[in-house]
Structures are given as structure tokens and as C-alpha cells.
Structure 1
């Protein structure tokens, strides 16, 4: 089971492919990266702006990290529980704590009311947490 301590930084692209595309990514976190049980990730969005939750402003939103879950369909709200982490204060960095083994981290961008912008504004990265 996953637990979290709030802080974040990561990337699921090669060194240049994400920098110019619209969407989201974890800076420095790539597919199948081996990570410590406690780690920090950075969240990046291209093509929209980060804003605190609570107000609907076109072209803005905030980050969510889904642990061991897939992207949320466009127009659907992001759940709020131990494996669906909300960064509604506009945070772009967090520290997470996971149990050893294989996990997926899905970065999901959503509007000011936590409604998903869909798969085009998400990225899932498989990781291996070291014992």
C-alpha cells in the first residue's frame, strides 16, 4: 500500500522530447527508474498554467498524482484518497513515500474543481521502488 509525505519532482520522456510538447511530465523520472522508498518529484506542464484549485480559469489547472492507477477520463473528477494525491495549492514539487516493488505514477492535470483534462494531460510512468 502506498503512503505519501507531501513534496514532488519527476519525467517520463527522453531528455528533450517533453520540453516542447503540450502536456505534463515528471522532470527527471523515466520509465522503469529505480527509486528510493522516499523520493522527491517535480511536476511540469506545457501548454497550460498552474493555478490553485477553487476557481475555474480557462487554460489553468493543478497537478494530481495517482499511485497505481490510470489517467482519469476527460470531464471526470479526480478521486481524493490515499492513492490520488491533490496538489490544489499549485505545488509543482512533492516528496512521496512508497512501498518496495513495482508501481506506476500517473501525473494528471485537472481544472480548478479537480475535473480531469483527460489522457492528453496525463502521463504514466512505471517505477521500481528499492527495498
Structure 2
């Protein structure tokens, strides 16, 4: 039984390493020259209630849902209080700090705890992989009452 467990564990580790190596080989979609993403509202430094609307702006490219392969399009990901840049060569995770808008949404309502928070947008391709070069907004700060 121990031998079977050891073999299964080793096989799992090898499969995981293989998948990570393959993820590094995924080609990134080129971003259109001059493309820009930005946060329309709230404004940098704004004081907001616990639940508030975030509106996304985009210039020089279009929005398409995840899974749709149309040239010069991508979809938004909102990074909330992200401390370090995500891996730009892999699909962006979907969690509390990186929120996916894979249906092509251009705004959302979020709820944050009182205090200072940062917001930033990054565009992902049909597979949630950041464009190359990445199209990211300026990081803004909001104060939640």
C-alpha cells in the first residue's frame, strides 16, 4: 500500500511539474499598439461607501468575453489590494485579489472593508492570460468609510 501511495504521489508531482512547464510555454496574445485601460470611477483618493461601483475604461482595443478569439480584444480583471504583480505568462487566478470579468463586463459593484484599498485593472485574453505587453491601468487608492 505504501508503494502504491508513493508511486501515486510521484506521478502527481510529475504531472504538476509538467503542467507548470506547459503553462510557461503558452504564447501571450499581442496587445494593440497604444491600448490603454483605466478606472473611470471611483477617482484616485476617493472616499467611498462599503459597497460601491467601479467603472472600467478602455481605449485602442475592444472587449470580448473569455473564450472568444477576436483580434485586438480582451476582457477586464480587477486587482484588489494586490501586493505583487501576477505571473504575466500564466492565466490569472480568480480569487479575492484578482476578479475576473470574463463575460465582457465594463463595470461592477464591490464591497470592501473600511480602510484604504488599492484597485487596478489588467486585460486578459480569451484564456485569462495578460496581453503582451500587458495592458494595465494605473493603481488607484480608495478610502472605504
TM-score, normalization by structure 1:
0.75
Give the stretch that moved more between structures: 53-62 or 107-116. 53-62
CA RMSD of aligned residues (A): 1.8
Q: Which residue of 1 aligns with 2:46?
A: 33
Q: Which of 131, 136, 140 is the aligned partner of 1:117?
A: 131
Instruction: Kindly report structure 1 stretches of 4+ aligned residues shifted beyond 4 Å.
Output: none
Q: Distance in 2 between matches of 1:29 and 1:99?
A: 16
Distance 1:74 1:48, change over 3 A: farther
Residues of 1 paired with 2:66 and 2:118: CA distance? 25
In 1, distance between residues paired with 2:56 and 2:48? 16
SS at match of 2:129: coil
What corresponds to 1:128 in structure 2? Answer: 143
Contact 2:39 2:120 in 1 (8 A): no
1:43 to 45, 56, 66: 56
For structure 2, the 5+ residue unaligned runs are 1-33
Query: Per-residue deviation at 1:72?
Result: 3.5
Matches within 5 A, 1:1-131: 22-69=35-82, 70-72=84-86, 74-117=88-131, 120-123=134-137, 124-130=139-145
Cα deviation for residue 94 of structure 1 reads 0.7
Bigger fraction of residues in helix? 2
Between the two proteins, the alignment pairs up a number of residues equal to: 110
Aligned to 2:31: none
Change in Cα spacing, 1:29 to 1:120, as seen in structure 2 (3 Å) is farther
TM-score normalised to the size of structure 2?
0.68
Distance 1:33 1:119 in 2: 29
**Which one has the largest radius of gyration?**
2
Residue 74 of structure 1 and its aligned partner are, at CA, apart by: 3.8
Q: Which runs of 5+ in 1 are unaligned?
A: 1-20
CA apart distance, 1:33: 1.2
